[in-house]
Every structure is written in C-alpha cells, then in structure tokens.
C-alpha cells in the first residue's frame, strides 16, 4: 500500500512539473504572438525604403483587422494644436492693404517645426491640455501614434476598404457607363407597354423558395461613411473642428512624416498603366504644361496620349496634369464617390506630376476648395492672400497672374509624401519642385458654384414668378414720369420722388421673400448635384443585394436562372443618401426622381438622368428618403394598394436605386 501511495505521489509531482512546463511554454507562445503582431504592424505601417509596397500588400486589411486592435475614436485628443505661421484668414484680413492683420495663434494651421520660416513668422508650437509647451519638433506620427492611425484600407466604409489584389486601374471594358435614355417612367410597364406581373398578396405564389445567406457588409449610412473617410483624410483634425475653424477661412497644413498615408490612391506606375491601357486624350483627359520665365504654356498634341510621348515631354521638364483620373483609377473614384456623400456636392480630382526643379503653372486662384494630397516626391508651395475683397471666395478661377501682381506669400511650405495642404477658393498659389526630386500630388476639389448666391440665383426668379401671379402689388404700374428722376444720371439728386421710389422698391423686395420657394430652390441645387456626381461605388455585398448582382442571369444553352421577386415583407432602403433627389417638375400628374446611378464616369458625360413617378406614388419615395438609413418593409410603405407598392419598389430596384436587406430568395420554378 505504501508503495502505491509513493508511486501516486511521484506521479503527482511529475504532473505538477509538466503543468508548470506547459504554462511556461504558453507564456513563451504568448510572447511570440505579441512579437509577431508588433512585427506585422511595423511591416504594414513602415514607410522606409527597406519595406517595399509588394511586401506590405501581403498583409491584407482583413487580416490586419482580425489581428490588430480596432481603430478607436481617440484622435490625438491630448494635444492642442496652434500655429502662428500663416496670417491668411480671409474672413478677417485687411485685403485692401494686402497686409492681413495678425490675430494671434490660428488653430489648425499645422506646420512642422522644421519648415522654413514663413513671411518672418515662427512655425508651430504644440501645447498639451495643461498648457505646457511641448518639443516643437514633435512629429504628428510617432511610432506609437502611427500604429493608431488608420490606413485607408482599414476603414469600415466600403470604398476605402480595398483588397490588396485589386487592380490599380480599370480595364477598358469598365470605363464610361453608357445610358440608353435619360427619362424613364416608373409606371409599372415594361418597354413594350405590357403590364408586369407582381405579387398581389403574401403567399400568392406556391413556388419553392431557396434562401440565400446574408453576408458581408452593406453601408449603414453613406453620409456617416463619407464623414469617416474625410476624418481619415484630415486626421488628426476632427471634421467638426475643421469646418468651424478653417473651412473657407484660411489654409491648413498637415505634415505627418508618414510617406505611405495616401500611397494606395495613385502612383506613377499606375499612371503609366492608365496611359497604356486607356484611350487618354490630350486636352480632354490630360494636359502637358510648363511655366518658365513668367510664361505659362500648354504643349498638347492632338489625339491619344501614348506613354512614350508623355514621358518624353516629362523628361524635357514639362508637367503632366490628369484632368479626371477618378474615371480610370478605381480607388480614387471610390474616394471621391464616398466624400461627395458627406459634402453634398461633387468631389473632383486632378493629379499633377512635375519633374525636378520645375513648375507647371503660373500663380493663380481657383473657384474650388482644394485639398492637396502629396503622393510622391516633394513640392514647395507659396500661398498668397486675395488681393481685394472681390476675390475672396470667388465664383470663378483667375487667369495666369504674375509675381508683381500677387505680392509676398503668407505661407511657404514644402510637402512630403503623406502630407496634406488645404486652402480655400480665392487663395493665390503656386508650386515648384525642389532640385533632384519629382512630385506627384492629387488635388481634391469641391464646392464649385455651391454658394448662397448660387441658391439665390435659382430662388429669386422663382419667387418673383409666384409673387407676380399671386400679389397685385407686384403687378401695379411704375409711377408716371419715373424716368425723370431715376437712372444713373439722377443718382446724386436729392428728390422726394426718388426717395419714395426707393422706399417702395425696398418694401417689395422685402415682401418678395414671402413667396420664395426655398425648398424648391434647394431641390434645384440637389438636381444639379445629381448631374455632377459620380455614380455610387458599391461593395460586393451591396451588389448581391441589388440589381447589379442579384436577379436573373443566363447560364448556358439559353437557360435563365436565379429568378427573384420583391415580396411584401422584403426590406429595402436607398442605395445612398445622396444618390437621388425628388423634384417637383413636369406636368401635374408626375414628379421627377433625378439620380446618379446611370451617370458617366466622366464629368457631365451624359444628360441629367431621371425617372418620372406618378404623383400618387410620390409618398413611397418620400418615405424611403426620410427613413434612410433604415430598411423599410414594402408592406409598411404609405400606399393602400399592395400591388402598386410592389410594382413601384420593383421598378426602383430594377433601376439600381434600392438595396434589399440581403440577397432576395430564389424562386424555384
């Protein structure tokens, strides 16, 4: 018995020792796992030459999202960023003297301390929330903070979430969308005029249904996704702070010391491939320019831009401007299509490739809000305040200006890869590459002709038309003999008749607003946006829940499979918040639904696209618009006739305007 107990005791000790060894091995495995994760992070975010793009692309965003901690909303909140490097606040500047009044530190002008002094002012100081001054050489992206920054491939919104094997350019077959007609009636009829068959009630069909599994990701709210993407674009600045402090007011610079931040959007090899693959036309799609000794020239030949010819111009010192790269670069198109949901207006892009120590354009100002994303190389920028108040937030771009006309710069900064420069419309600017280094940057543009004045141009004529119809005071005749005291030659005459005339005109003008259809004018602005905008870029999962990937298809030998139908319990929502606009136009029996789904990938490549909806069916559309981003059951839509509800929803789904909550069930005939 004692021997047995002794054996059991020895066995217990052996097991205890083995257990300790096992725990030690587990600790070692955990340490190894942590080291692998740190190594993967370093490999993914590295920006030096010893970590090339091909190596980084082996780590897909999906893998990183499974391994790494999710990106949180904590965005460098421990730092308060101030700068005194730029005095160009176009809201408060003394434009007549061209010497803006200094108003103290301007928040959100983020200039790296290593940047050369600008107009005699110091660079940036960083203060923590306790007011203690930090080292001015602090980098926005230390190694620790860099791990927290989202890469564009890591964001949850669909367009930025690119797979690592996605092509950098479209194939020729994926170019401009072709549309057969711009006006289609949503009246429940096929092209030949035959009434389409729709379900009358739940369960009216006895066919067997094959369930499809829901999978993947459908955009929850396109406006919020656009905001997330803009937040990534200007990180670490929050969109709300940017709009409040900087938007339309003054330039802003972000210097990250993170060269790979924007590199998934575009590259010089991608430009070469685009030129080789697509029929890129001079003047329409590409410009060859130069600026030397104060003279700006365009060197465009006629016809297609072949790579060898373009690079020959480049090698002789010419700059290359791509006018619509988003048409051919899918990732750039996805970026713009997502951002336009946030801004509520068209977001365009140009790209500029400049050889070393050269300049492609004369100083000028633009009629757009500009975001410069530095992709490759370096470029030195000089910014100048508007010369007079008429050039603050101008309606139209300037011509070529000279150095004598623009005065001294209010900001000078050199952009490196990963940096961003923003400046409002009206800010005069010019860029020049440094010796021994080329430059590739993207200019994102928005808010062209999207002002209060543009709204009033649509509102006032409409208000006057209504007032003339409804108010007799607008139809009363002008005073007899008014030309004797009114007109330019009578401006300085102090006559009682003039004062009475001006008082009456002001009273009518004030009264005019009572008849102003402000919402209708806003719809007209929205209608213009529908014509300007890019079509939505859908995720693979969204395609499977829409007409773009669901429904009937031909397999072989003339056999058609995968028949689906909209049911009363089918849940639907708009494909995007700003993919359509309901406008009161046409005759009294219809309204128009302008949309972006059939837009060309080239700006205004097609006429405005719209559907005509019966007035009785308009409440369905209103309900879907106001319910977004929620899914709504067809049976819950505000129309008494179920068959009509099914018909309208089916028609909208067939035009790509609606997503279902998941792939529709297949009807097994």
Average pLDDT of the residues in 35-56: 40
Confidence (pLDDT) at 20: 60
Q: Which of 179-193, 361-375, 430-444 has the lowest mean pLDDT?
A: 179-193
Q: Is 470 in contact with 514 (CB distance < 8 Å)?
A: no
Q: Which of 160-174, 415-429, 576-590 has the lowest mean pLDDT?
A: 160-174
Give the CA count within 13 Å in the CB-facing half-sphere of 38.
8
Q: Which CATH entry fits the domain spanning 173-220+520-668: 3.90.1310.10, 3.90.76.10, 3.90.930.40, 3.40.50.300?
A: 3.90.930.40
Question: What tokens does 456 get?
Answer: 């009033």
Residue 548: count of CB within 10 angstroms of its CB: 16
Instruction: Give the C-alpha separation, 293 to 587, whole Å.
Output: 59
Q: Which of 90-94, 218-222, 263-267, 454-458 has the lowest mean pLDDT?
A: 90-94
Q: Which of 164-173, 307-316, 425-434, 481-490 has the lowest mean pLDDT?
A: 164-173
580 against 106, higher pLDDT: 580
- What 3-state DSSP class applies to 414? strand
566 against 115, higher pLDDT: 566
The side-by-side arrangement of strands in the sheet containing 183-186 is 183-186, 609-614, 590-595, 580-583
Highest average pLDDT, of 41-55, 138-152, 460-474, comes from 460-474
Q: Is 280 in contact with 274 (CB distance < 8 Å)?
A: yes
Confidence (pLDDT) at 9: 66
Q: Which of 178-192, 530-544, 605-619 has the lowest mean pLDDT?
A: 178-192
282 against 147, higher pLDDT: 282
Helix H or strand E segment including 313 = helix 307-315
Instruction: Give the C-alpha separation, 485 to 496, whole Å.
Output: 10
Cβ density class 114-145: b for 16+ within 10 Å, e for less: ebeebbeeebbbbeeeeeeeeeeeebbbeeeb
DSSP-derived secondary structure for 603-639: TT-SPPEEEEEEGGGHHHHHHHHHHTTS-EEGGGSS-
Confidence (pLDDT) at 209: 55
Instruction: Give the C-alpha separation, 273 to 270, whole Å.
Output: 5
DSSP-derived secondary structure for 419-454: -EEEE-TT-EEEEEPPTT--EEEEEEEE-TT-SHHH
Assess if CATH 2.60.120.650 describes domain 79-160+222-452.
Answer: yes
* Mean pLDDT score across all residues of the chain: 79
Instruction: Give the C-alpha separation, 3 to 7, whole Å.
Output: 6
Confidence (pLDDT) at 136: 30
Question: What tokens does 300 get?
Answer: 């465009």
Q: Is 385 in contact with 426 (CB distance < 8 Å)?
A: no
**What's the start-to-end Cα distance of the chain, in Å?**
78
Confidence (pLDDT) at 16: 63
Give the CA count within 13 Å in the CB-facing half-sphere of 557.
0
Confidence (pLDDT) at 213: 52
Question: What tokens does 650 get?
Answer: 């089916």
Supply the CATH classification number for the domain 456-518.
1.10.10.1500
Confidence (pLDDT) at 655: 96
Average pLDDT of the residues in 495-517: 98
The residues, ordered by sequence, that sit 6+ positions from 225 with a Cβ below 8 Å of its Cβ are: 156, 157, 158, 219, 338, 341
Same fold, 79-160+222-452 and 173-220+520-668: no
Q: In angstroms, how far is CA 104 from the centroid of its own chain?
A: 32
Q: Is 387 in contact with 394 (CB distance < 8 Å)?
A: no
Q: Is 598 in contact with 179 (CB distance < 8 Å)?
A: yes
- What 3-state DSSP class applies to 47? coil
Residue 231: count of CB within 10 angstroms of its CB: 20
Instruction: Please state, for a pLDDT cut of 70, what percent of the chain lies above it.
Output: 68
Confidence (pLDDT) at 8: 65
Cβ density class 41-77: b for 16+ within 10 Å, e for less: beebbbbeeeeeeeebeebebeebeeeeeebeeeebe
Confidence (pLDDT) at 441: 99
pTM: 0.75
Confidence (pLDDT) at 101: 43
Q: Which of 22-26, 295-299, 419-423, 611-615 has the lowest mean pLDDT?
A: 22-26
pLDDT band at 15 (very low <50, low <70, confident <90, very high): low
For the chain, the domains span 29-75, 79-160+222-452, 173-220+520-668, 456-518
- What 3-state DSSP class applies to 28? helix
Average pLDDT of the residues in 617-629: 97
Cβ density class 335-365: b for 16+ within 10 Å, e for less: bbbbbbbbbbbbbbbbbbbbbeebbbbbbeb
535 against 15, higher pLDDT: 535
Residues in the chain: 669
């Amino acid at each position: 018995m004692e021997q047995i107990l002794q054996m059991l005791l020895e066995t217990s000790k052996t097991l205890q020792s083995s257990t300790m060894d096992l725990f030690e091995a587990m600790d070692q495995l955990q340490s190894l796992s942590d080291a692998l994760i740190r190594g993967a992070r370093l490999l993914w975010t590295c920006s030096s030459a010893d970590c090339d793009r091909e190596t980084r692309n082996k780590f897909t965003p999906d893998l990183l999202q499974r391994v790494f901690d999710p990106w949180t909303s904590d965005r460098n909140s421990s730092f308060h960023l101030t700068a005194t490097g730029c005095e160009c606040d176009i809201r408060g500047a003394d434009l007549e003297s061209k010497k803006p009044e200094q108003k103290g530190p301007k928040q959100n002008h983020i200039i790296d301390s290593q940047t050369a002094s600008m107009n005699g002012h110091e660079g940036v100081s960083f203060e923590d929330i306790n007011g203690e001054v930090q080292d001015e050489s602090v980098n926005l992206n230390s190694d620790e903070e860099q791990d927290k920054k989202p890469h564009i491939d890591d964001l949850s919104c669909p367009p930025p979430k690119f797979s690592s094997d996605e092509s950098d350019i479209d194939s020729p077959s994926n170019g401009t969308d072709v549309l057969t007609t711009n006006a289609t009636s949503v009246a429940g009829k096929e092209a030949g005029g035959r009434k389409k068959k729709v379900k009358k009630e739940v369960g009216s069909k006895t066919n067997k249904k094959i369930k499809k599994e829901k999978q993947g990701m459908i955009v929850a709210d396109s406006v919020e996704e656009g905001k997330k993407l803009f937040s990534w674009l200007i990180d670490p600045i929050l969109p709300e702070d940017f709009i409040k402090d900087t938007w339309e007011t003054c330039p802003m610079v972000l210097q990250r010391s993170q060269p790979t931040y924007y590199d998934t959007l575009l590259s010089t090899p991608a430009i070469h491939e685009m030129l080789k693959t697509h029929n890129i036309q001079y003047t329409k799609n590409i410009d060859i320019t130069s600026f030397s000794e104060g003279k700006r020239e365009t060197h465009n030949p006629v016809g297609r831009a072949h790579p060898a010819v373009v690079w020959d111009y480049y090698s002789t010192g010419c700059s290359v401007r791509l006018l619509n790269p988003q048409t051919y670069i899918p990732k750039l198109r996805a970026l713009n299509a997502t951002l336009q949901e946030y801004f509520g207006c068209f977001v365009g892009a140009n790209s500029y490739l400049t050889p070393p120590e050269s300049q492609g354009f004369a100083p000028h100002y633009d009629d757009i809000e500009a975001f410069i994303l530095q992709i490759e190389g370096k470029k030195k920028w000089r910014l100048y305040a508007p010369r007079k108040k008429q050039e603050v937030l101008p309606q139209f771009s300037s011509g070529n200006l000279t150095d004598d006309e623009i005065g001294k710069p209010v900001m000078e900064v050199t952009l490196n890869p990963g940096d961003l420069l923003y400046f409002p419309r009206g800010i005069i600017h010019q860029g020049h590459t440094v010796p021994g280094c080329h430059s590739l940057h993207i200019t994102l543009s928005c808010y062209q002709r999207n002002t209060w004045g543009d709204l009033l141009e649509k509102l006032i004529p409409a208000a006057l038309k209504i007032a003339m119809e409804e108010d007799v005071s607008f139809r009363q005749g002008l005073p007899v003999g008014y030309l004797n005291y009114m007109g330019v030659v009578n401006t300085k005459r102090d006559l009682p008749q003039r004062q009475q005339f001006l008082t009456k005109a002001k009273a009518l003008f004030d009264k005019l607003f009572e008849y102003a259809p402000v919402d209708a004018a806003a719809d007209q602005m929205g209608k213009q946006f529908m014509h300007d905008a890019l079509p939505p870029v859908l995720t693979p999962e969204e395609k499977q829940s829409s007409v773009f990937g669901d429904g009937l298809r031909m397999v072989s030998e003339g056999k058609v499979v995968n028949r689906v139908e909209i049911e009363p319990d089918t849940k639907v929502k708009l494909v995007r918040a700003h993919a359509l606009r309901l406008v009161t136009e046409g005759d009294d029996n219809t309204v128009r639904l302008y949309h972006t789904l059939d837009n060309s990938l080239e700006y205004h490549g097609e006429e405005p696209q719209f559907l005509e909806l019966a007035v009785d069916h308009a409440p369905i559309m209103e309900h879907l618009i106001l319910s977004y981003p929620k899914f709504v059951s067809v049976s819950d839509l505000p129309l008494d006739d179920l068959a009509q509800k099914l018909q309208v929803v089916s028609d909208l789904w067939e035009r790509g305007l609606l997503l279902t909550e998941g792939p529709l069930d297949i009807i097994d005939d």
